[in-house]
Amino acid sequence: MDSLRWIMSNIMWRIFHIIKNSAARMRGVPQSPRPFYLAKEHNMAETKAVNPWAWQDQFGFSHAIEVQGGQRVVYCSGQTSVDASGNPMHGRDMAKQVSQALNNLETVLKQAGLSLANVVRLNYYTTDMAAFLKAGPAYGPRLAAAGCKPSSTLLAVAAFFHPDLMIEIEATAVA
């Protein structure tokens, strides 16, 4: 309820100050700073795995992740095995492609001030399910070392933007 109250007061403050500051800007008056009573501390989100069974542990994912106190949510676009210019890398080598896609995901997360430890959901899209499952040793220990055991979905798809690409990894992270 406190969160809802803070959101509503924040929205009302923003609407009031947008109107007030728009009029003030037209008259050349400087904008007013945010009042101290609306300031809110930003705490790290608390996450808790929700797993009614144990079979998922061998695959390194959770059935659900409960998030409490999250102030930021970052929705990452699917990351593939491409270089900084968007050119495909590691043609038809699933283990290397997964590793590069995770490198790219970590780069995006770092730019947002987060890491794999903040990830609460990973969606995997692959054109070769057998190769992806076989490549588990290439990504499983890396995710485990980062404390990343998110809820996940694994889907087989027909193709990506380049025929050599075999994997795309999409993430949601909270802080």
Backbone φ, ψ for residue 113 (5° rounding): 80, 25
Between 39-53, 129-143, 161-175, the lowest mean confidence (pLDDT) is in 39-53
How do residues 36-82 score in pLDDT, each as one tens digit?
434 444 457 888 888 888 988 888 888 878 888 878 899 999 999 99
- pLDDT over 80 at 142, yes or no: yes
- pLDDT over 80 at 87, yes or no: yes
Give the integer Cα–Cα distance in Å for 164 and 159.
9
Q: What is the pTM of this model?
A: 0.69
How do residues 3-16 score in pLDDT, each as one tens digit?
555 555 556 555 65
> From 3.40.50.2300, 3.40.50.300, 3.30.1330.40, 3.30.420.40, which CATH number describes the 46-174 domain?
3.30.1330.40
3-state helix, strand, coil split of the chain in percent (to 5) is: 40, 25, 35
**SS3 category, 42:** coil
- pLDDT over 50 at 153, yes or no: yes
Q: Where are the beta strands (DSSP E) in the chain?
A: 46-50, 64-68, 73-79, 119-126, 151-156, 167-174
pLDDT averaged over every residue in the chain: 83
Give the integer Cα–Cα distance in Å for 76 and 73.
10
User: What residue spans define the domains of the chain?
Assistant: 2-38, 46-174
